[in-house]
Structure 1
């Protein structure tokens, strides 16, 4: 649940202000830890969220061993090839980016790829980190499963001239749980009124971001987040609208006043 207060005003590039933004809503959320009048709504945890994949070439390597492998014969395939095949398959089957399957939606991203030491050395290990997001728990799990299956399938297809395949080790865990607050809950009403008090029009919406509020709600502390002036978030054009940021601080103070 996100209440946003937008103004067109001065903007500056931002790289280190996120901890200040977090402090704004943590401030008034934590103060309500002992005064809950309406229970929050959230989904139970599911085995999905982040997906970490490690790919190991298996040429002359015993199962479970992780070490650099040198080949006596040309072997133009390995961990990097398997990673490429898996990512290409996910793209082809529309499991990357904005994911729509029937009436369910979500997003996914391959954010980190690490591996290799030289052009003439077959990579002994490629590490990949991906994420799956959805407000639908089953859809989030489905995306994570598609990513995992793609890497297992690709690893099995990359076989050396001696008949050994790449091994894919996949780890999955939950980073954030989705939640939706009752619009009639006290914290939402207080925030709504605080925005009105400052002469702005509140807008209630849903965001796909993962923040501390997800965990606060999961542990029984109803928490809203404020639009704090972020623009082009997580891009090289990210910037902060100073007027919106300062307005969010004023709103947080007003919420504390109503919660007292």
Structure 2
């Protein structure tokens, strides 16, 4: 219900105090303007509210229509594994018959991962564990007059396979023994991905990537001593993980009784 009051303003010209007159202002905004502090040589107005005169308008019902709905951030699959392509969508609906263009931005853990564009999607080509976090999106008009953000969506990137560990079947390896280092890892449940394994000694490749998780040394020699590690990876190399180093020492055999 709108109300407006009649303001009475007494004005005088500061350079000629003998001139005075009354002025009635019905517009509140103009009345407020007249209350500004005067500057030398300007017109000064003193205003007061004449509470004896009041007028009231009829009611006017105003409804502000929603330009677009509050966005909702969605991911196409509930279970995202390392190396998967992940696509997030900022889903919203424009008001009927509206032809307004919207821009969309995406955030993870309060940090921007994609600045405002006309695309309502954000794609991660090969998801990594570090891509886990709380995501939300923001939709806004091109002039930024209307902005709305979604609720947060917690996304966890699931480990495709555990970090490998290199193992040797026996603690003490003698010359001419058969030595078999193993690159031990576990796939995520219900995953049928094939892995490849490579083996290294002192930063040099001793076995290139194969489907075997073992590296065999038929007759170990002293020169086979060193720091070993292995690498496990998917066939498309989207996910790679390497083990810690394992120091392997080949011990010499005693050929005479001491």
Do the structures match in fold with TM over 0.5?
no
Point out which structure has higher relative CO (alpha carbons under 8 A, 6+ apart): 1
TM-score by length of 2: 0.29
Larger radius of gyration: 2
TM-score by length of 1: 0.29
When you count strand as a share of all residues, which structure comes out higher? 2
